[in-house]
């Protein structure tokens, strides 16, 4: 039969969200409910009749709840194939009741290990054993049994209960979700054990993501797109952010917002940046978010039109007033939070008030993820994320004269920003703001040329940062012609001596950091 009536349900959940409504719907449909421990008490407190699993199996819960549902009378009642006469006869012989619905969610392992200071003992006690077994058994026998693993599935189940039973279509959908759920759960446990063993790159990397939403389209209108969330993800990120206002985020919005957050969270001072096509066209630090935003927007006003903004401090009213200036157009803004007055200004004043997306991402002081993953055809590249600051004591001045103290702040700022620009990357910085950026060129001197063109007269006296070494001295000659006052780069070219000689010829101080920051 396609639609199967629900006569008995086994309910054992860690998260009680939505359980009262489901329990009442089961009772109204005449379903006999079997349950354990805290779940049984919760349902009983709702005034619902519940059969305790221990009373049914004849075995009490034991070992601090480690053993309660692991019993043949439970699993036989779930796995019995109703169309196989031998299965039905065996169930009858051994007094097994048949279950038509299993409602289980698992101990919160990922949330537990994400807590600061969690002990190995706490983590291990949050490894669910009976729960995944129940889920897998019910999902395997989905021809006869419906399995619910998430409160978001309850409304569909309640609707079908009222229609007389669950349909095969729903049971198939729930089974698919159930196996994905246990796979993600086991993946989180496997990842934790690998970390405990000190392996940075475990032999098997389990990546299990949950679809959060389907997007209007992908990178282009003819491509489909979706957003998936990683389990247990914490800290400032666009996946878990609260959207306070505006249209649905697009695939490209999410990419740009993620890049913007990565840039601003690398600064301890108030910082702002403007992202276009996944590169910063403006960035700055200042005493306040409003000052930082003003300097960032001034970096490349033409490119900033229709840009994505990111902040590492909450957006206040003063910052919102600046952003509402006539002539600006902003697609989306990400920040730890938004003051109520800022939300009011941004959603009522500018012409783009109805469309701007406001994303509250939470505090930016949580360390970012230690691994960076990128899918490629046939597999995935995984690397240690390039998120740690470079040790400044390893920097080396390679020209006779060191850069003056007045330029050190701009050199540091440019070096922090350049790692967030697509290679070949060149950044020009002045007064701790981005004034020129050359990105993604096949020739480094072309990136230098673009950065100088963007900066104009502001290149004179600016600090230049390069994400990798200069293969030829031509870039140094061009920078000197534009009036660049100091250069910071990794070094490491076979022509380093020629590059240093060019800097010395033009009287430009140069620092080698010893570490490159390619971003492909």
Least confident of 59-68, 335-344, 449-458, 487-496: 59-68
Look at residue 393 in the predicted model and tell me its pLDDT. Answer: 94
Assess whether 422 carries a catalytic annotation: no
Residues with Cβ within 8 Å of 189's Cβ and at least 6 positions away in sequence, in order, are 109, 127
Q: Give yes or no: residues 50 and 178 share one domain.
A: yes
- Please name which of 342, 340, 335, 337 lies closest in space to residue 308, comparing C-alpha atoms: 335
Considering the domain architecture, whether residues 187 and 54 belong to the same structural domain is answered as yes
Please report whether residue 216 resides in a domain. no
Name the band, by pLDDT with cuts 50, 70 and 90, for residue 232: low
Range of the domain at 55: 8-196
- Which one is catalytic: 277, 353, 477, 506? 277
Overall residue count recorded for the chain in this entry: 520
Q: Is residue 209 part of a domain?
A: no
Q: Is residue 256 part of a domain?
A: yes
Report pLDDT for 82: 87
Question: Angle CA(10)–CA(127)–CA(195) in degrees, nearest 5?
Answer: 155
Residue 463 pLDDT grade (very low, low, confident, very high; cuts 50, 70, 90) = very high
pLDDT, greater one: 380 or 283: 283
Strands (E), 40-171: 50-52, 101-105, 146-148
Q: Which residues contact 469 (CB under 8 A, 6 or more apart)?
A: 489, 490, 491, 492, 493, 496, 499, 516
369 within some domain:
no
Q: Looking at the 3D structure of the chain, how many domains does it have?
A: 3
Both 183 and 249 in a single domain?
A: no
- Whether the pLDDT of residue 114 is over 80: the answer is no
| Diameter of the chain measured on Cα atoms | 96
pLDDT at 349 over 90: yes
- On whether residue 428 sits in a domain, the answer given is yes
CA distance 282 to 35: 58
The mean pLDDT value for 161-174 works out to 93
Residue 43: asked if its preceding bond is cis (omega within 30°), the reply is no
pLDDT bracket for residue 518 (50, 70, 90): very high
Write down the pLDDT at residue 68.
65
Q: Say if residue 173 is in the same domain as residue 253.
A: no
Same domain, yes or no: 90 and 48: yes
Examine the domain organization and report whether 175 and 322 are in the same domain: no
Which CATH number do you get for residue 479?
A: 3.40.140.20
Residue 1 reports pLDDT greater than 60: no
- Read off the pLDDT of residues 402-422 as tens digits, 9 standing for 90 and up: 999 999 999 999 999 999 999
Q: What is the pLDDT of residue 62?
A: 66
In a domain, 219, yes or no: no
**Residues 167 and 243 grouped into a single domain:** no
- Got the DSSP string for 223-269? S-EEEEE-TT--SS-SSS-EEEESSPPPHHHHHHHHHHHHHHTT-SS
pLDDT at residue 174 greater than cutoff 90: yes
Domain finish residue from 144, 178, 196: 196
Q: What is the pLDDT of residue 284?
A: 98
Please say if the pLDDT value at position 139 is more than 90.
Answer: yes
User: What is the band of 367 on the pLDDT scale with cuts at 50, 70, 90?
Assistant: confident
Are 481 and 350 part of one and the same domain?
Answer: no
User: Does 101 reside within a domain?
Assistant: yes
What percent of the chain has pLDDT above 90? 70
User: Given 16, 71, 140, 477, which residue is catalytic?
Assistant: 140
**How far is residue 500's CA from residue 502's CA, in Å, rounded to a whole number?**
5
Looking at residue 52, what is its pLDDT? 86
- Shared domain for 310 and 262, answered yes or no, is yes
156 and 300 in a single domain? The answer is: no
Q: Are residues 87 and 181 in the same domain?
A: yes
When pLDDT is averaged across residues 128-137 and rounded to a whole number, the result is: 89
Q: What is the CATH number of the domain that holds 16?
A: 3.40.50.1380
Considering the domain architecture, whether residues 350 and 462 belong to the same structural domain is answered as no
Supply 425's token pair: 């990357």
Q: Is 68 a residue of the active site?
A: no
Indicate the pLDDT class of residue 69, thresholds 50, 70 and 90.
Answer: low
With contact defined as beta carbons under 8 Å apart, do 281 and 272 qualify?
no
As a whole number, mean pLDDT of residues 132-149 equals: 93
Q: How confident is the model at residue 462 (pLDDT cuts 50, 70, 90)?
A: very high
In a domain, 16, yes or no: yes
Percent of the chain exceeding pLDDT 70 equals: 98
């Amino acid at each position: 039969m396609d639609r199967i009536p629900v006569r008995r349900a086994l309910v054992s959940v860690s998260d009680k969200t939505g359980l009262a409504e489901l329990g009442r719907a089961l009772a109204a449909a005449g379903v006999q409910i079997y349950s354990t421990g805290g779940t049984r008490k919760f349902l009983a407190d709702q005034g619902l009749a519940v059969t305790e699993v221990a009373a049914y199996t004849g075995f009490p819960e034991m070992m601090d709840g480690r053993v309660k549902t692991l019993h043949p009378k439970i699993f036989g009642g779930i796995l019995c194939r109703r169309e196989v006469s031998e299965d039905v006869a065996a169930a009858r012989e051994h007094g097994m009741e048949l279950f038509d619905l299993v409602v289980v969610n698992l101990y919160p392992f990922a949330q537990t290990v994400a807590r600061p200071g969690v002990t190995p003992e706490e983590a291990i006690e949050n490894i669910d054993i009976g729960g995944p077994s129940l889920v897998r058994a019910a999902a395997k026998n989905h021809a006869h049994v419906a399995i619910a693993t998430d409160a978001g599935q309850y409304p569909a189940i309640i609707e079908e209960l009222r229609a007389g039973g669950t349909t095969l279509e729903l049971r198939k959908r729930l089974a698919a979700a159930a196996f994905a759920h246990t796979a993600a759960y086991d993946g989180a446990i496997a990842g934790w054990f690998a970390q405990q063993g000190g392996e940075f790159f475990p032999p098997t990397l389990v990546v299990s993501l949950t679809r959060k939403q389907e997007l209007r389209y992908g990178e282009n209108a003819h491509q489909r797109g979706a957003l998936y969330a990683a389990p247990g993800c914490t800290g400032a990120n666009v996946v878990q952010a609260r959207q306070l206002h505006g249209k649905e985020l697009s695939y490209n919005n999410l990419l740009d917002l993620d890049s913007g957050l990565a840039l601003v969270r690398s600064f301890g001072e108030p910082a702002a940046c403007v992202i276009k096509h996944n590169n910063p066209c403006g960035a700055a630090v200042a005493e306040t978010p409003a000052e930082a935003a003003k300097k960032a927007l001034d970096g490349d006003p033409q490119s900033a039109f229709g840009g994505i903004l990111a902040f590492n401090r909450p957006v206040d009213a003063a910052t919102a007033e600046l952003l509402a200036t006539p002539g600006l157009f902003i697609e989306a803004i990400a920040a730890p939070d938004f003051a109520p007055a800022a939300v009011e200004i941004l959603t009522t004043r500018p012409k783009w008030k109805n469309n701007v997306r406001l994303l509250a991402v939470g505090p930016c002081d949580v360390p970012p993820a230690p691994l960076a993953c990128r899918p490629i055809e046939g597999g995935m590249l995984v690397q240690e994320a390039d998120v740690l600051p470079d040790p400044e004591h390893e920097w080396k001045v390679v020209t006779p004269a060191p850069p003056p103290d007045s330029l050190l702040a701009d050199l540091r700022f440019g070096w922090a920003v350049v790692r967030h620009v697509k290679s070949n990357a060149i950044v020009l910085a002045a007064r701790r703001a981005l004034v020129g950026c050359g990105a993604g060129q096949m020739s480094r001197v072309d990136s230098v040329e673009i950065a100088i063109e963007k900066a104009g007269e502001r290149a004179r006296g600016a600090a230049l940062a390069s994400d990798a070494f200069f293969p030829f001295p031509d870039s140094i000659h061009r920078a000197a012609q534009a009036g660049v006052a100091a250069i910071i780069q990794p070094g490491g070219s076979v022509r380093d001596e020629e590059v240093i000689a060019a800097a010395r010829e033009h009287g430009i101080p140069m620092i080698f950091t010893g570490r490159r920051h390619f971003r492909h």
